[in-house]
Amino acid sequence: MTYHPVSNLFGVAAFLCFLVLAGIAFAYAIHMRFGQVTLGKRPDVRWDEIPQRIKNVFIYVVGQKRLPRNGYLYSGVLHMFIFGAFMVLSVDTINFILDGLLNIGAVVRRAEPGPAFHLPGSGTYYQGLADTFRFLCMVGLGMAFVNRTVIKPKRLPLTRDAMYTIFFIFGLMLFEVMQQGFDMALNPARIDEQPYIWFSGLLARATTGMDEGTLKLGYQIAWWGHLLNLLAFSNYVPFSKHSHVFAAPPNIFFMGLGPKGQIRKMDLTFDDEGDAPEYFGAKTLEDLSWKQLFDGLACTECGRCTDNCPASLSDKPLKPMHIIVDLKHHMEDRYKALHSGEKIDLDDPKWHLTTPDNKGVIDPDVLWSCTTCRACMEVCPVGNEHIPDIIDMRRYLTMGEGAVGHGAEQALKKMDRKGNPWGLSKNEREKWTKELDFEVKRVTKEPAEYLYWVGCAGALDARAQKVTQSMARLMKKAGVDFGILGKNESCTGDSARRLGDEYLFQQMAEKNVETLNKAGVKKIVTHCPHCFNTLKNEYTQFGGHYEVIHHSELLSQLVQEGKLKPGADGDAASQKVVYHDSCYLGRYNEIYDPQRDLIDAMPGVTRVESERHHQKGLCCGAGGGQMWMEMDIGQRINYVRTDELLETKPDVIAVACNFCMTMVDDGVKARSQEEKVKVLDLAEMLDRRTGDVPADAEA
């Protein structure tokens, strides 16, 4: 190939010069980014379960599982076109660079340059695949341009960074097509021999017969353009928000593999007070892990997390994407200051992640707005972990500064003193049993197959007690051998942990695990999804290993086995029912179907879905300790969610969580719909259809 650009000394010198300079610049960029993420000093080793991590890369990176889901079909498809091209054409990029290097050897030997180099299997039909993906990539880039400039979704602001990236990639595709097309035009036989190279072949057919010198010049311009664009883009990406091009695959590889509902356990054991740290939680970058900082490099700034955040949707200051991006920018500023010789005083609030008086990087109201519903993490295409960042900073505010947000400190004090956020006596926990016409076992005195973990709300809240009684009656009817802890039961500590009081949570967890293990408990049925998640996923950190089942799962199973046979509701021959997904049951534990199966098994019931349901369901607004806060910023989340549920015009809004019951019920009353729409737990619905319910048990 006498027209190859690297076929003389000038070409060799230019090629090597560009390659070496770009390589040095890229090495510097990687060194800089490595230095930035290692500002996070908290150990976080993630080399376990390598097969699963590799599988995740194939599912979420190669397969792009999260991209077109949850209402993002357009942007998902365009990204799949572009990313698919990157995967396929990465082999061609290797061919391209190796071809240039091999031609250097030919020049040194003063030999004639040979045919273009291809890795084994990357010639012939692979070139047809690569050519097709060049076309798809250009289509995807056109869609991306329209998305940014015409459609303009609120979550995607128009930035120069985005435009630069679109034009960089378009340039790469254009120069590759030109290079391939001119090469085929210089070797016309290839046009008919390789019809599968159809896209570049269009250019080849259009230029066949042109002056040979013009075709050679066109090929050489395309070749150098390809090289310079490739090297420039490779060095632009690490410094831009599109660093996710390189960072996303390893970020997926290192994503958390533990239970979704499990928060990192802090080591709070110290030999003496002198060994205790000055503070707890994340005060500065050093208190975060490398992975928490690496999330910033992987972030695509697509805004999906913010788009699905209930706090953001209700006009609160939390924008999950901004937490990741703000930490990234703070990391960059810190690194720059460190390497410019600036003296860094870690007592200066400007280097703090958050402060009670909002002098740090993150406004505390941003952190307290979070319901920990996990919607942000569920939709993030690159596996970023927003909630651990928020919890770590809450831990600093709560345990380090004693600054719990929006009145929630009262609930923490009551949990500490009385073992429940209402501050009621433990003797109150058994009162609900007095309205039943049968005795309920106490597992501390008499063993039972199932421990019914009633929960604080189920035992102490007047409305929730009706649900507890329905559940007890249903288990009795079905012949389930169950018992309760009664006054020996205490709050699981879910809210304490998520409000940042890890010390209180660990105290409660250790005490509860000791009680459960002493009573010989093996199986637990819970009502509250928060209790369910804590008992199932977090008590394992304290030696509590139990088979935990949610009440909706057990009831669905009992109906399927014929042990409970629902009939018609005496109050209504037919009912339209919409089910509200609990975040801690759905997104955290992927339990969606038993509740719906249970509703579908009830005669006369027509089940409908709200616009947001299953994994996209909107939080009721109570999680993350919000149940105990009085936040008057923006709209109330439960009103936003209730409005969505009411849009289906239901007769009943079904729930499977006492927190959801309270929040949705308040929303229905606020909309003056309580006479038209009932808010019922699934246990109540089934209880009404399987026997006579006492009049005073009606909700």
Query: Following DSSP, what letter does each residue of 139-168 receive, concatenated?
Result: HHHHHHHHIIIII--TTS---HHHHHHHHH
Token representation of residue 143:
């869609």
CA distance 424 to 430: 12
Q: Which residues pair with 200 in a beta bridge?
A: none
Count CA within 13 A, CB hemisphere, residue 676. 9
Block residue for tokens 């009932």 = 678
Task: Give me the pLDDT at residue 236, please.
Answer: 94
The length of the chain, given as a count of residues: 699
Hey, how many other C-beta atoms are within 10 angstroms of the C-beta on 119? 12
Closest residue by Cα to residue 252 from 376, 155, 372, 380: 380
pLDDT confidence of residue 3: 85
Full-model pTM? 0.93
- Give me the sign of the Cα torsion angle 363, 369, 371, 375: negative
How many other β-carbons are positioned within 10 Å of the β-carbon of residue 651?
Answer: 17
Options 3.40.50, 3.40.91, 3.90.380, 3.10.450; CATH for 414-560 is 3.40.50
Whether the Cβ atoms of residue 429 and residue 386 lie closer than 8 Å to each other: no
- 575-697: CATH topology: Rossmann fold (3.40.50)
Distance CA 321, CA 520 (A): 45
Rounded CA-CA distance 271/22 in Å is 52
Domain ranges of the chain: 9-253, 278-403, 414-560, 575-697
Residue ranges with strand state E in 447-542: 450-453, 482-484, 523-526
Q: Residue 430 in contact with residue 621, Cβ under 8 Å?
A: no
Give the HSE-up count for residue 444: Cα atoms under 13 Å, Cβ half-sphere: 11
**Residue 695 exposure: Cα atoms within 13 Å on the Cβ side:** 0
Residue 274's pLDDT is what? 65
**Contact 111/141 with Cβ under 8 angstroms?**
no
CA distance 154 to 136: 26
Cβ contacts of 275 within 8 Å, gap of 6 or more: none
CATH architecture label of 278-403: Orthogonal Bundle (1.10)
Residue carrying the six token digits 């046009």: 191
CATH class in words for 9-253: mainly alpha
The rounded distance, in Å, linking the Cα atoms of 625 and 620 is: 12
DSSP state of 326: H
Q: Do 9-253 and 575-697 agree at the fold level?
A: no
Long-range contacts of 632-637 (CB under 8 A, 24+ apart): 633/315, 633/316, 633/317, 633/365, 633/369, 634/311, 634/314, 634/315, 634/316, 635/314, 635/315, 636/314, 636/667, 636/670, 637/310, 637/311, 637/313, 637/314, 637/371, 637/663
313: its two tokens: 């949707």
Between the CA of residue 100 and those of 3, 16, 90, 186, what are the distances in Å?
13, 9, 16, 19
Look at residue 272 in the predicted model and tell me its pLDDT. Answer: 66
d(CA 629, CA 624): 10
Average pLDDT, consecutive stretches of 10 residues, N- to C-terminus, the chain (699 residues)? 83 95 96 96 94 95 86 90 92 92 83 77 89 96 94 86 92 96 93 93 94 94 96 92 90 95 92 78 97 96 94 97 97 95 92 96 98 96 96 97 95 97 96 95 95 97 97 97 97 98 98 97 97 98 98 98 90 88 97 97 96 96 96 95 97 97 97 94 95 53
Residue with tokens 């990157």: 86
User: What pLDDT sits at residue 695?
Assistant: 45
CA distance from start to end of the chain: 85
